Amino acid sequence: MRFELCLAPTVFLALLASSCVGRDDPPWVGLLNTGKLAILLDTSDIEDSTTFDRIVLRFDYPEPQLLPDGSGHFTRMYGTWDISCADQVVRDVEIRLDDGQGKQVGFHRYGTPIWSPWKQHPASATPFVAACIRLKYMAARRGA
């Protein structure tokens, strides 16, 4: 009887943990989840230089979002940005919109992007602050 009581919570926790892991994890690490939007960082696709990092963030929407031209919907957005955590600035590199099934439904590559303060970016400062916290944590873990 004691064995069964100890085993039940273990099985429950294992099932709970397995249901929380997305099919893309890892290298995707969650930064924010509001229920209406989940933002994840691709930890396998970080390019760092002495002045900035190039990051890829994924925005998952549980409800379909209307494409800017109104021609359809998307549920996932991948954005590539150059980010300077020290200066709190970001520049857009490219945006890709997917239908959630892996089909690309929109794409835009920025020509010569300019640096802008996080607070002035359309995505707000929140994803960039969260990404910088994660980048700092990752650097500390590898001893950089």
Per-residue pLDDT tens for 32-78?
999 999 999 999 888 877 789 999 999 999 999 999 898 999 999 99
Structure tokens at 64: 């379909």
Confidence band, pLDDT 50/70/90 cuts, at residue 2:
very low
- Read off the tokens for 115: 């640096």
Q: In which residue are the tokens 């290298």 written?
A: 27
Instruction: Tell whether 9 is covered by a domain.
Output: no
**Is 10 within the bounds of a domain?**
no
* pLDDT tens figures, 84-115: 999 999 999 999 999 988 899 999 999 888 99
Burial tier of 41 (Cβ tally within 10 Å: 0-12, 13-18, 19+): buried
CA gap 132, 59 in Å, rounded = 17
Domain count, the chain: 1
Residue 134 lies in a domain: yes
| 18 in a structural domain | no
Structure token pair of residue 43: 């930890």
Residue 5 included in any domain: no
pLDDT tens digits, 15-30: 333 333 344 567 999 9
CATH number, domain containing residue 120: 2.40.128.710
Asked if residue 45 belongs to a domain, the reply is yes
Tokens of 74: 């998307």
DSSP letter (8 states) at residue 64? E
Residue 11 Rama label (left phi>0; alpha psi -120 to 50; beta): alpha
The answer to whether residue 7 sits within a structural domain is no
Whether 71 is in a domain gets the answer yes
For 57, the domain range is: 24-141
Structural contact between residues 116 and 91, judged by C-beta atoms closer than 8 angstroms? yes
